[in-house]
Amino acid sequence: MSTKQCFNPYMGAHEYVPDGEPHVFGDRVYVYGSHDRFNGATFCINDYICWSAPVTDLKDWRYEGVIYKKSQDPANANGRMVLYAPDVTQGPDGRYYLYYVMDKINIVSVAVCDTPAGKYEFYGYVHYEDGIKLGDKEWDEPQFDPAVITEGETTYMYTGFCGRGDKSRSGSQCTVLGPDMLTITKAPVIVVPGSCYSEGTGFEGHAFFEASSIRKKGDTYYFVYSSEVMHELAYATSKSPDKDFVYGGVIVSNADLGISSYKNADKPTAYGANNHGGFELINGKYYIFYHRHTNGHWFSRQGCAEEMTFNADGSIPQVTMTSCGLNGEPLNDYDEYSAHIACNMFSDKKEIYVGGGQPHVTQDGADGDDDSDVYIENINEGYTIGFKYFNLKSVKGMYTITCGYCHGHFEVRTSIDGPVLGTIPSDSANFWEKNEARFDIPDGVSAIYLTWTGGSCPRFKAFGFIH
């Protein structure tokens, strides 16, 4: 009998919320992010929405609706600017403050709400005591992707974007705000350097690019950010919120680079690009939230999450991407699974970044069409689609659901370099058709890798196990 499960992407197949910042308020965890449009022409086209789940059941995600429209900002009444990655903090007055930056101006806007996922209203712009907005003074660096943490009546805000070779951008800036959540009480200081200023520091090769995120565990501040290589979320630590940060390592890569548990560390097993997210303590466990890329380009991103741990010295081991994510256990072997939960797509080529006709998740229908089919396309000869992990017991075969002009089969393995356990045929079909094959798969917790061999390429919608 089937029981409820949770997969990556955890908001479902048709939701496109990257840049996820999770926060526990009361007995629920809320995820705030930007909002991509399926097949959009650029990043973050849609209005802010929110999803939440009980802290005791991360399989039970609920759509909270639109919490803030881009046209609510007085500087964007016509809605022509997009809302980049936001963050939310609870102020000293108990209300919830949403910080964000739009794409055409370099200032930080703030909205406020009495509840974590209610209808936020525009509140004001972050400004100096003389009223000049942060970002408007001659020496200010452009503001981007704010992250916020409030302690007592003080809020620390981290912002910045540092493209390679741009010496006008120094790194991530920490700005201190007073109890009104708008007025600067301490001007910005650089806490993590960008690539132009990382030489001789511990950040070389992993310098700040974008996507500031801030948390505190015990007496230590953890600054999470997207590094100059873009596909990874790295972190730095300090005992102070605005100085002395030391590079710590990588938490997650959306290309799985650096992971050596099931492959060579330098082999990418997904097509990555920019990354953004943060971690949160939820019901006694820590989880890192990040995003992946779909539709073969950078502008249709989806939120994913993995459980993470801390070593005794406070360091964070890098986590691997999975299909089961927040499920809390491997997936069962009796449900049918959508192909969109694939956590790995790769070939023998060393392709790190999205683009170039690789396999990718896509959907029929327009943005917001929850009834449209979701599938993987562009599965050419030699490409592998991977899913992990499953709890397999007495499996006697597998089936796939495919369509399209093709003639060949999927080779089935439980490890990247392992033996072929069986092959599942797939021939040209105008509509979705089920193809199955009988073979034994060893019992135990395992990944499943399907490698396409044959002419042309199928569209791959779903799969399941035979007992």
Catalytic residues: 19, 210
**Continuous H helices in 258-303:** none
Q: Which two tokens stand for residue 452?
A: 């396409």
Q: Which two tokens stand for residue 360?
A: 């990718």
Per the document, the length of the chain is: 467
Q: Which two tokens stand for residue 419?
A: 């033996």
Local structure of residue 102 (DSSP, 8 states): B
Q: Which two tokens stand for residue 185?
A: 């009480």
Burial of 293 (0-12, 13-18, 19+ CB in 10 A): buried
User: From CA 372, how far away is CA 354, in angstroms rounded?
Assistant: 23
Q: Are 378 and 358 in contact (CB under 8 A)?
A: yes
Which residues, in sequence order, are bridge partners of residue 201? none
Helix and strand numbers (H, E) in the chain are: 0, 28
Provide long-range contacts, Cβ within 8 A and 24+ apart, for 4-7.
Answer: 4/59, 4/60, 5/59, 5/324, 5/327, 5/331, 5/332, 5/335, 6/58, 6/59, 6/61, 6/324, 6/325, 6/326, 6/327, 6/328, 7/323, 7/324, 7/325, 7/327, 7/331, 7/337, 7/338, 7/341
